Structure 1
Amino acid sequence: MPVQVTKLAGQPLGAKITLPEGCTDPSKLSKEDFDTLYRALHEHLVVVIPGMEDLSPESQWRLTTMFDPTCDQSGKSYGHGKEFRHDKSVLRKDGTSIPDQPQVQVLGQGHWPAGHHGMGEIDLRHPTHFDFHKSVLTDEQAFEQDMTRFYRWHIDSALYGLSPPVATTLLGIHVPPHSKKQKVVYEDDNSVLELTQGATAFVSGANAFELMSPEDQERALKTTVEYAPHPYIFISPARATSDGLTMVSEGKEMPLDELPPWEESKIKRLPLVWTNPITKKHHLQVHGCCINKLLLPDGTTLELEDARKEVHRLMRPAIAPENVYTHDWNKGDLAIFFNRGVWHSVTGQFSPGEKRLMHQCNIASGQDPKTMTGQAA
């Protein structure tokens, strides 16, 4: 039996993948079966393979590289870079690397004893809006009323010097029970999205583009996003909007002359809209928190605050509850998402003593994404 692809019922995106009988390692699929998986990823944007709790870090890394022939296949370059662990980066607490397979990051919550793939004792901290948003929920709202927030809507990418990965793989090893529910409350229109504690939220960049007016679409197709140098360090003193789409402009960003040394040639200028190579659909793909400028087709440049306001206006409709797929994690779920076609966000918070453990892998691409005209930024 070849690979089977089953669209997720009642969801705005996503599909379940059933591997051929006897196959326990998707990195060893036949060419025909991998081609089916590759197409499914681009068509459904998020695909989930259940029962992968024994997948090795090496196999997860190899599978991740298979989605992008241009990425570094040697394993020497994997896209996290030094600033992932820089003491001023907003990413510094998000995980730790497996010693023998540093391309794979260990994420989660809680204290874990020594012995996980050769690691010593590790303490993991689930990212929450308490550490990142300008205004936060009260403890009563979060822990008694089970309210939560989208932490940060984003694309996995260094956004400086390295090209965005094509795909990310995320493996659930120890996950919280589905019995605990939390709800995202939208402060601007009183909408509510109920989800399982720690669910990962996904939205389609193609849907985001389709929700735009024809005038906005035409302009977006010719607009370039300029990201800040060392963007995760640049934004570290600032705080995010309550929906996690972008940052509040209060002049708190780290001055460019106080950042680690940077080169003009490594600043990322990427199209605002990326084209799906399989479906040919246009995807609004922007990391709203890391944006520095928008370069419009009429020659106008929107600087930091105005650029943030504009991308927020374009992005906000796409995160309405009916457009969001929240993946409720089961042990052994391997989620693969098309990082050039979706945005995703961590959700939820954990109480003391609650634990989670996951493996994540994405590899910087060898080339930048392109627009419908084939023009790279």
Structure 2
Amino acid sequence: MAIEVTKLEGQPLGATIKLPEGCNDPSKLSAEDFDDLYKALHEHLVVVIPGMEDLSPESQWKLTTRFDPTCDQTGKSYGHGKEFRHDKSVLKKDGTSIPDQPQVQVLGQGSWPAGHHGLGDIELRHPTHFDFHRDPLSQEQAYKQDMTRFYRWHLDSALYGLSPPVATTLLGIHVPPHSKKQKILYEDNNEVLEVTQGATAFISGARAFDLLTPEEQDRALKTVVEYAPHPYIFISPARATSDGLTMVSEGKEMSLDELPPWEDAKVKRLPMVWTNPVTKKHHLQVHGCCIHKLLLPDGTTLELEEARKEVHRMMRPAISPKYVYAHDWSKGDLAIFFNRGVLHSVTGQFSPGEKRLMHQCNIASGKDPQTILDVAA
């Protein structure tokens, strides 16, 4: 019996996966069944396998590496750690690593006693827009009216010296009840998206590309995005726009000579549009918070502030409510998303005493995303 793929009804993307009878570890799928899973991931962009609460960190890591033969398969190099946990990085508080499987990160909210896969007592903090946005909602809006914001739209990647992962796996181990709803208030206060507390929001880069005009698409296909050196440290003093798409340009970023030592050869210059190897669709894939420059096909360079404005203009239509899939977590959900085809965002906030525990894994690829020219060749 092969895997069963069921497209999510009424959603702009996503599917659920039922494993073959007798299989409870997707890392051990046969080659044929894994090929079907690989195809489903690239076609639906986010796939969810329910009932995986007992999946081991080792199996999660092995499954993640199967999606990208070019990534390190030995476990010795996984492409985060030092960069993400640097004292000045905006990511430093977002989780911790499992000692015996450091490729797998523990994320969540609340205090957890010693004993979780070799960890001692841990205190997890769910990222909220209060920590990152220039103009957060009021406490009244957030905790009395149950409003919230997208935290940060992004793709998972160090974006310095390492190539973006192909896939991310995210496992819900302890999740809050489904009953609590929150409303994402858009920055113009004219749009609202209701989500379950702590939902993970996804949008399709292919949809973002399709929403551009033909002229914009042609230019995007030939545009290069230059990211800042050590981008998560570079942006740490700055604050984000209210939709989480990019940063507000107020001159607060760290100067390049204040950053840890960096090399120009490790600065990531990536195509603005990445090509899906299965569907051949074009995906507008830009981490708007970490950009430094846009290198346009006519030879023009848009520097930081103008680059942010241009990316925001291009991406904003794609995060409209009708294009967002907000995953409502259940215990044991294993979400796998095509990191080179979607952007995603944390949503929501938790009250004191509320708890959540998740395992995340993504591995830096051995090569950068393909452009349309690479695929055509």
- Whether TM exceeds 0.5 here: the answer is yes
Using structure 1 for the length normalisation, give the TM-score. 0.99
Find out whether 1:97 has 2:97 as its counterpart.
Answer: yes
| In structure 2, C-alpha distance between the alignment counterparts of 1:22 and 1:180, rounded to whole Å | 34
CA distance in 2, matches of 1:84, 1:341: 22
* One-letter code aligned to 2:345: S
Cross-structure match for 2:208: 208
Which residue number corresponds to residue 218 of structure 1? 218
1:373 partner SS = helix
Aligned to 2:310: 310
- For 1:186, the equivalent position in structure 2 comes to 186
Work out whether 1:289 is the aligned partner of 2:289.
Answer: yes
Q: Deviation string for 1:225-247 (max 9, x for gaps)?
A: 00000000000000000000000
Structure 1 residue runs of 4 or more that deviate by more than 6 Å after TM superposition: none
Residue in 2 that maps onto 1:74: 74
Residue 30 of structure 2 is aligned to residue 20 of structure 1: no
Q: How does 1:112-261 map to 2 (within 5 A)?
A: 112-188=112-188, 190-261=190-261
Measured in 1, the distance between the counterparts of 2:66 and 2:24 equals 17
Question: Deviations along 1:65-96, whole A, 9 cap, x unmatched?
Answer: 00000000010111114121111000000000
Partner in structure 2 of residue 329 of structure 1 = 329
Q: Which amino acid aligns with 2:167?
A: A
Taking the aligned partners of 2:18 and 2:347, their CA distance within structure 1 comes to 27
1:163-195 alpha-carbon deviations (Å, 9 max, x no partner): 000000000000011100000011225110000
Question: What TM-score, normalized by structure 2, do the two folds share?
Answer: 0.99
What count of residue pairs does the alignment treat as equivalent? 376
Look up the equivalent residue of 1:328 and give its one-letter code. D
What secondary structure, in the 3-state scheme, does the structure 2 residue paired with 1:130 have? helix
C-alpha distance in structure 1 between counterparts of 2:81 and 2:96, whole Å: 13
Q: Distance in 2 between matches of 1:71 and 1:168?
A: 13
- Distance in 1, matches of 2:2 and 2:226, equals 43
Range with bigger deviation, 234-243 or 81-90: 81-90
Percent identity at matched positions? 84
Q: Equivalents in 1 of 2:218, 2:169: separation in Å?
A: 33
CA RMSD of superposed structures (Å): 0.9
1:203 partner letter: I
Measured in 2, the distance between the counterparts of 1:75 and 1:166 equals 16
Cα distance in 2 for residues equivalent to 1:102 and 1:200: 23
Counterpart for residue 356 of structure 1? 356
Task: Give the distance between the partners of 1:20 and 1:127, measured in 2 at CA.
Answer: 36
Structure-2 residue corresponding to 1:2: 2
Amino acid of the structure 1 residue aligned with 2:60: Q
- What SS is found at the alignment partner of 2:373? coil
Deviation of the 1:261 alpha carbon? 0.3
Distance 1:211 1:350, change over 3 A: same
Match of 1:47 in 2: 47
Gaps of 5+ in 2: none
Specify the SS of the correspondent of 1:232: helix
Q: Tell me, in whole angstroms, the C-alpha distance in 1 between the residues paired with 2:222 and 2:77.
A: 31
- Distance in 2, matches of 1:323 and 1:122, equals 36
Match of 1:13, as an amino acid? Answer: L
Aligned pair 1:11/2:6, yes or no? Answer: no
Amino acid at match of 1:154: H
The separation in 1 between residues aligned to 2:149 and 2:2, in whole angstroms, is 40
* d(CA) in 2 for partners of 1:334, 1:12: 19
Q: Is the 8 A contact 2:275 2:375 kept in 1?
A: no
